[in-house]
Amino acid sequence: MKTTLSVLTLLIVFSFNIFAQDFKHTILEGHTESVTRIVFSSDGKMLASASHDRTIRIWDVATGTHRHKLTGHNAYIYSVAFSPDGKTLASGSENGKIRLWDATTGQYRVTLEGHRSAVRSVAFSPDGKTLASGSSDTTIRLWNAITGSYKVTLEGHYREVNSVAFSPDGKTLASGSDQTIRLWDASTGFHKKTIEQNGYNVAFIENGKTLVSGNRLYDAVTGQQKQTLNVSNLNYVSINSDATILAGVSSRIILLWDIATEIEVASLAGHTSTIYSLTFSPGGKILASGSSDRTIRLWDLSTHVHITPSTIESPPVGEQFEINIDIAGGQDVRGYKITVDYDSDSLQYVSHANGDYLSDDVFEGPTLSQSGQVSFINISTADAGSGDGTLATITFKVISRRASTISLSAMLSNSDGSRLPYIVISGKVVEPPWDVNGDGAVDILDLSFVAARFGQENQTVADVNGDGAVDIKDLITIASGLDTEAAAPAALGANLNKTLIKTTVQKWITQAQQLNLTDARSQRGIRFLEQLLASLMPQKTALLANYPNPFNPETWIPYHLAKSADVTLTIHTANGAVVRTLTFGNMSAGIYQSRGRAAYWDGRNEVGESVASGIYFYTLTAGKFTATRKMLILK
């Protein structure tokens, strides 16, 4: 009876969607005035907080206990940063002074002086040897982080520098100020690029590939804007390290947004006054917030329900792919309802299978599927699930190859039917960016484009897999995205490039096979090349019409060979007199149609004399095959 009632209770909960998010959080208290800046150590074990009370506090994240209180600044403290090894803490204050501290003991080490006004931001380089500081005096200074000695001043901003950040490789420094972001060479201080956009706060994510400022994401190399999130009126924005969740402050509330779908997924309420600082822990499982209510709150975001993979490169039309609905950090999960919305113009729902997260004794509710949405319920009648795992696997079929979003919503319940808070991370389908020649289509010409650049470096377009060199792997990647029809002779038409000859395609296949590529994409690419090779192999030997015809003084005579043969072309008059014999030797099977491959006659006889106007005949002999056609010389 108890089991039956539990299942019934959960079904009622899921049916009426009465779920509200109530995230667990820890409150850290100790500051006597507003908390202005908070930062995690690189291992996520420590948190440092700066305050208007002119102190810095270091906290143990796991226990929420206070470790050290750092005193010595005689002005408001606006910025703090841990060194990569967590042993040093830097702090910048309103009077322009920077202090370095031993983060383990809390002992003061040295003061760095040079800025003329408030130090708004500090950051260590990835190797911990350089400290960058941004100030209200509009400058950035680079310091030796070991000795504290001054290195160089970076000038160019005309307003206060609110944020500085090093790229993960340490080669680039980004600074945010005066509605611009500036990129600098971190070793020389040379100005590399200015991005004319909101530059209040900057951060590198996705291993340095993307630069974030406010609600905008930029290519960290080119500075080109990649995405603008449809999120407004948010302050002190922070994005987790894998660029899936954006957090921002709206009044006293923290809002969380799914970056892929730009849908709000949760709100965190608890602070009683203005929030001044917001940051994710390195693993993204904790979000810390500091407020003028003098408290710090550590929000537990460890439970995620997410689509894996978060980004799917669309396979060709007609093929299927799977996504997993995974859960991380679940605690006492007894049942769930999953709803997935998708683009019905590009995808078709095929089926779903429940994962192994819950026990084998599972009550499966009805599956509700309509155009663009599928929803299903699972409730364990035995043990609840905890930790990480897969809730379900969904299979889709591609009906139109284009970019779209797969939006996920889920509801979780524990054993007594109570709500469970979680973060939902959706996914997206992208059309592979393999139109390398930029003509608006992914086709044979893109293969030719890549092949013509084999061996070249610094070819960001042709190097489609981004490994620094254009090679057979790039060609296979593009080939994997082509539909079977693209290999048909009719699809080649006039686009047949001289690089796409049989011997070249055969060489590509051989190189690919030698790499022993076993992943699905590579196998698709190899299959396409094999189909392309077959299309370049004529089904039968044939002699075609010469061109131009009439001609004067030269012409090209095309032919097809279904198999290799000794080829001879004889030109003769209407009465059978031989004018010229062209011997080509043994020719491999293939299409000899373009001017570079067809048989060529210059209109001269065996002794080099131009022949007279009139009707002539040409006969092709290829092994046992013989065929004759006529042509006209008109002078």
pLDDT score of 452 more than 50: yes
The reported pLDDT for the residue numbered 460 is 67
pLDDT score of 487 more than 60: no
Three-state helix/strand/coil letters over 111-135: EECCCCCCEEEEEECCCCCEEEEEE
Average pLDDT of every residue of the chain: 86
103 contacts: CB under 8 Å, gap ≥ 6: 41, 46, 48, 58, 82, 83, 86, 87, 88, 89
pLDDT tens across 189-216, in order? 999 999 877 666 888 887 888 888 888 8
Residue 175's Cβ-side half-sphere holds a number of Cα atoms within 13 Å equal to 36
Strand-pairing partners, residue 490, are none
Q: Cα 215 vs. chain centroid, distance in angstroms? A: 18
**Residue 167, helix vs strand vs coil:** coil
Handedness of CA 303, 309, 312, 313 (dihedral sign): positive
**Which stretches of 100-220 are DSSP H helices?**
none
Q: H or E stretch including 373?
A: strand 373-380
0.95 exceeded by pTM: no
Q: How confident is the model at residue 29 (pLDDT cuts 50, 70, 90)?
A: very high
Which is it for strands 423-425 and 304-308: parallel, antiparallel or unpaired? Answer: parallel
**Cβ pair 162, 134 in contact under 8 A:** yes
123: tokens are: 């950051």
**Cβ pair 568, 561 in contact under 8 A:** no
* Dihedral of the alpha carbons of 521, 522, 523, 524, in degrees to the nearest 10: 50
Q: What is the average pLDDT across 178-189?
A: 90
Instruction: Report the greatest alpha carbon distance in the chain.
Output: 113
pLDDT score of 479 more than 90: no
Q: Is the peptide bond before 550 cis (omega within 30 degrees of 0)?
A: yes
pLDDT tens across 279-302, in order? 999 988 999 999 999 999 999 998
DSSP state string for 207-268 = GGTEEEETTEEEETTT--EEEE-S--S-EEEEE-TTS-EEEEEETTEEEEEETTTTEEEEEE
**Cβ pair 334, 383 in contact under 8 A:** no
Q: Is the peptide bond before 421 cis (omega within 30 degrees of 0)?
A: no
482: tokens are: 């082509």
**Cβ pair 489, 531 in contact under 8 A:** no
* Dihedral of the alpha carbons of 508, 511, 516, 522, in degrees to the nearest 10: -30
Distance CA 299, CA 284 (A): 10
Distance CA 99, CA 73 (A): 8
Strand-pairing partners, residue 534, are none
pLDDT tens across 251-269, in order? 789 988 888 778 888 889 9
Q: How confident is the model at residue 511 (pLDDT cuts 50, 70, 90)?
A: confident
Among residues 150, 179, 183, 151, the alpha carbon closest in space to that of 165 is found at: 183
* Whole-number percent of the chain with pLDDT over 90: 50
**Cβ pair 154, 175 in contact under 8 A:** yes
> Tokens 């095959």 identify what position?
625
The reported pLDDT for the residue numbered 264 is 82
pLDDT score of 102 more than 80: yes
